[in-house]
């Protein structure tokens, strides 16, 4: 007979706790706006409130959940809060949370088709749905990674691997006088994940060249051409260009078609980082902004940023999936089982084991429908444009970058010098964030402090944007 003290917690206790968790989550989402969005915890508070040593004896789930409610939930910065307008939002939606919960229950590990047939096939299917929604041509294969940082790393790894004559996969890069310095190009406004990929791929920071941007923070394609010619003349070997469609500071878009033409001519891998803004391409009216993306070798879009899917879920779409397999699969090509038509997800990146992330994305797309997702994105873009109008009409403020999507970059332009203006903007940001209802972030553009309002949260309505603007104006009068 089974020892009642071994095995999982008693089924009845688990069931009751699971119901309680359903209520905790639903209550949280209904009342999240009652919290200050930015945590008021001081460093060390949470840890000091919890026992320093693990419990010797079992504790009831009910007691653990009570501590969750008392100590964990209140001591967070609330990304689900309608006033969360910092960075880029991540919003867990109801359907996304259901998918995440079911995936936790199943706890499958989709490394091989046979270890998780439905997880593997759903991932192939749902990333193809996303491809269609984005208007990308057939042929791209989608793969879910945890983050855009990993998607970009994997894509650039494939670019490095397919460079003729290097045999990096077999021979590595170190100690090889026959290998010239390899170079990747991205704009000055590209995300730091490109720098990290250059570090991890053995190119080093010096192996990533930052291409200057124009007045609207877009990569200067002419400058890219000049840098490529310079580098080739100096014996360096360009391997890839990362174009950003929706930069992290201002959501500017690099000129994808011009960059794609250069990449084609120079036989370079083109990776498009559309981690945030790619989601807007599901709306036909915004698709022209992405013209040229269909020539990319790889594209990353994060449904966990602006497609209402809980973190983490980053989709990497690759035009030549064989390039990923060539870089990362450890099954020799002659032993492949492709003719049976099965996908083994472990062949497309660094990870062996992987979570069932496709489930939540599938549930989100089904529950909102493509139409519902489009409408929500349009709503956010509309709110951002309205806010942009309010700021432009306000003396003493300036909008400092175009607003193609749902992020507005602006600053208080008051003060005798640039430094004085920066300090005033820092005080303004601190005052607004201390108030409680909203959380904004800042960036630096052309050496000057700039404030950002990023709208991307499912719960954000016009009244929340109006509150943010009222708080900004109020604080501006005081700083």
Ligand X SMILES: *Cc1c(COP(=O)(O)O)cnc(C)c1O
| Residue nearer to ligand X on the CB measure, 88 or 469 | 88
| Residue nearer to ligand X on the CB measure, 244 or 298 | 244
407 near ligand X (CB under 6 A): no
CB 164: neighbour CB atoms within 10 A? Answer: 6
Contacts of 427 (CB under 8 A, 6+ apart): 475, 479
For residue 225, the minimal CB distance to ligand X (Å) is 23
For residue 253, the minimal CB distance to ligand X (Å) is 11
| Residue nearer to ligand X on the CB measure, 91 or 248 | 248
- Residues paired with 199 in a beta bridge: none
What radius of gyration do the chain's Cα atoms show?
A: 24
Q: Near ligand X by CB under 6 A, which window of 47-55, 142-150, 330-338, 418-426?
A: 142-150
For residue 191, the minimal CB distance to ligand X (Å) is 3
CB 410: neighbour CB atoms within 10 A? Answer: 23
For residue 307, the minimal CB distance to ligand X (Å) is 13
Q: Of 111, 119, 133, 148, which one interacts with ligand X (CB under 6 A)?
A: 148
- 3-state SS, residue 41: coil
191 near ligand X (CB under 6 A): yes
279 near ligand X (CB under 6 A): no
Q: Of 156, 201, 211, 275, which one interacts with ligand X (CB under 6 A)?
A: 275
Please state whether 172 falls in left (phi above 0), alpha (psi between -120 and 50) or beta.
Answer: left
Distance of alpha carbon 112 from alpha carbon 23, whole angstroms:
36
| Residue nearer to ligand X on the CB measure, 243 or 324 | 243
Nearest to 202 by CA among 171, 243, 234: 171
Nearest to 314 by CA among 281, 288, 279: 279
88 near ligand X (CB under 6 A): yes
- 3-state SS, residue 145: strand
Q: Of 248, 343, 344, 443, which one interacts with ligand X (CB under 6 A)?
A: 248
Q: Of 163, 244, 279, 344, which one interacts with ligand X (CB under 6 A)?
A: 244
276 near ligand X (CB under 6 A): yes
Q: Near ligand X by CB under 6 A, which window of 57-65, 135-143, 215-223, 270-278?
A: 270-278
Please state whether 370 falls in left (phi above 0), alpha (psi between -120 and 50) or beta.
Answer: alpha
273 near ligand X (CB under 6 A): yes
302 near ligand X (CB under 6 A): yes
- Residues paired with 73 in a beta bridge: none
Tell me how far the alpha carbon of residue 447 is from its chain's centroid.
25
For residue 242, the minimal CB distance to ligand X (Å) is 9
Distance of alpha carbon 406 from alpha carbon 453, whole angstroms:
8
361 near ligand X (CB under 6 A): no
| Residue nearer to ligand X on the CB measure, 116 or 193 | 193
| Residue nearer to ligand X on the CB measure, 147 or 329 | 147
Question: How do strand 84-85 and strand 208-211 relate by DSSP bridges?
Answer: unpaired
For residues 424 and 479, the answer to whether their CB atoms sit within 8 Å is yes
- List the Cα angle 227/230/232 in 5-degree steps: 110
344 near ligand X (CB under 6 A): no
CB 172: neighbour CB atoms within 10 A? Answer: 12
For residue 149, the minimal CB distance to ligand X (Å) is 3
433 near ligand X (CB under 6 A): no
For residue 438, the minimal CB distance to ligand X (Å) is 20
Q: Near ligand X by CB under 6 A, which window of 77-85, 145-153, 352-360, 393-401?
A: 145-153
Tell me how many residues contact ligand X (CB under 6 A): 15
Q: Near ligand X by CB under 6 A, which window of 144-152, 210-218, 322-330, 348-356?
A: 144-152
| Residue nearer to ligand X on the CB measure, 150 or 158 | 150
- 3-state SS, residue 116: coil
For residue 93, the minimal CB distance to ligand X (Å) is 18
x/- letters, 40..79, toward ligand X (CB under 6 A): ----------------------------------------
Is it true that the peptide bond before 273 is cis, omega within 30 degrees of 0?
Answer: no
For residues 407 and 451, the answer to whether their CB atoms sit within 8 Å is no
149 near ligand X (CB under 6 A): yes
For residues 325 and 91, the answer to whether their CB atoms sit within 8 Å is no
Distance of alpha carbon 112 from alpha carbon 136, whole angstroms:
27
For residue 404, the minimal CB distance to ligand X (Å) is 13
What is each CA distance from 453 to 315, 397, 409, 441, in whole angstroms?
25, 14, 7, 7
Distance of alpha carbon 442 from alpha carbon 425, whole angstroms:
9
Question: Which residues lie near ligand X (CB under 6 A)?
Answer: 88, 147-149, 191, 193, 244, 246-248, 273, 275-276, 302, 314
């Amino acid at each position: 007979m089974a020892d009642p003290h071994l095995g999982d917690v008693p089924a009845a206790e688990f069931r009751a706790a699971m119901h309680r968790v359903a209520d905790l989550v639903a209550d949280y989402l209904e009342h999240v706006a009652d919290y200050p969005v930015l945590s008021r915890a001081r460093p060390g508070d949470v840890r000091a409130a919890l026992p320093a040593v693990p419990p010797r004896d079992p504790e009831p789930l009910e007691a653990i959940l009570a501590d969750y409610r008392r100590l964990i939930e209140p001591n967070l910065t609330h990304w689900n809060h309608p006033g969360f307008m910092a960075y880029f939002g991540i919003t867990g939606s109801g359907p996304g949370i259901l998918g995440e919960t079911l995936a936790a229950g199943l706890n499958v590990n989709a490394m091989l088709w046979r270890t998780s047939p439905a997880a593997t096939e759903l991932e192939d299917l749902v990333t193809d749905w996303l491809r269609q929604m984005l208007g990308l041509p057939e042929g791209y294969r989608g793969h879910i990674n945890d983050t855009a940082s990993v998607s970009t790393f994997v894509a650039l790894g494939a670019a490095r691997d397919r460079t003729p004559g290097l045999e990096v996969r077999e021979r590595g890069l170190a100690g090889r006088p026959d290998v010239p310095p390899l170079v990747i190009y991205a704009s000055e406004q590209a995300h730091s994940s490109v720098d990290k990929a250059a570090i991890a791929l053995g190119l080093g920071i010096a192996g990533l060249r930052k291409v200057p941007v124009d007045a609207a923070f877009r990569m200067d394609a002419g400058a890219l051409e000049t840098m490529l010619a310079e580098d080739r003349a100096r014996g360096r070997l360009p391997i890839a260009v990362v174009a950003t469609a929706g930069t992290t500071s201002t959501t500017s878009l690099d000129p994808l078609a011009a960059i794609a033409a250069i990449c084609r001519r120079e036989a370079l891998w083109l990776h498009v980082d559309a981690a945030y803004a790619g989601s807007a391409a599901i709306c036909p009216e915004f698709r022209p902004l992405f013209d040229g993306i269909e020539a990319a070798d790889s594209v990353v879009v994060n449904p966990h940023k602006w497609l209402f899917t809980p973190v983490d879920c980053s989709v990497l779409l690759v035009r030549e999936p064989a390039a990923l397999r060539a870089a990362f699969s450890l099954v020799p090509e002659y032993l492949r089982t492709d003719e049976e038509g099965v996908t083994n997800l472990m062949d497309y990146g660094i990870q062996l084991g992987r979570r069932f992330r496709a489930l939540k994305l599938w549930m989100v797309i089904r529950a909102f429908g493509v139409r519902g997702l489009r409408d929500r994105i349009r709503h956010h873009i509309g709110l951002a444009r309205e806010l942009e109008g309010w700021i432009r009409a306000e003396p003493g403020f300036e909008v400092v970058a175009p607003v193609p999507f749902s992020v507005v970059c602006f600053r208080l332009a008051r003060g005798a010098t640039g430094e004085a203006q920066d300090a005033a903007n820092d005080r303004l940001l601190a005052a607004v964030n201390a108030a409680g209802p909203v959380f904004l972030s800042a960036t630096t553009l052309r050496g000057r402090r700039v404030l950002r309002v990023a709208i991307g949260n499912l719960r954000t309505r016009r009244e929340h944007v109006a509150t943010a603007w009222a708080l900004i104006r109020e604080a501006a009068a005081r700083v």
